Amino acid sequence: MDEPNKSCLWFLRGHILKYDTRLTGEWKYRLPFFYFNGKMFCYFWMDSVTKAPYIGFMNGNRMCHPALESGLRKRVKIYPLNAEKDLNLAEIDALLYEAMAVM
């Protein structure tokens, strides 16, 4: 993975793990996954077309935040990231809060 995507996701990993002590990071399906109370919560991946990183929320179908995109997915919704700009941590924290609420 190239910069600035690598630095963006590395920072975001630390932020997510500090957000709540019940969140843990693991590798699953060759992806960096985060678990909440032992259940799959969210993961990082790169869009195959744009090569831009995103956060995929496992129970995204239960979330209604306007920044989330579902595309052709049934369960997962994604939050696209722009590694060239500063991350909107307030919005990311709101998404984490909502994702925890629907678990």
pTM metric for this prediction = 0.91
Contact, 58 vs 40, CB < 8 A?
Answer: yes
Contact, 78 vs 58, CB < 8 A?
Answer: no
Tokens of 17: 């793990």
Average pLDDT by stretches of 10, the chain with 103 residues: 89 95 92 94 92 94 94 93 93 96 92
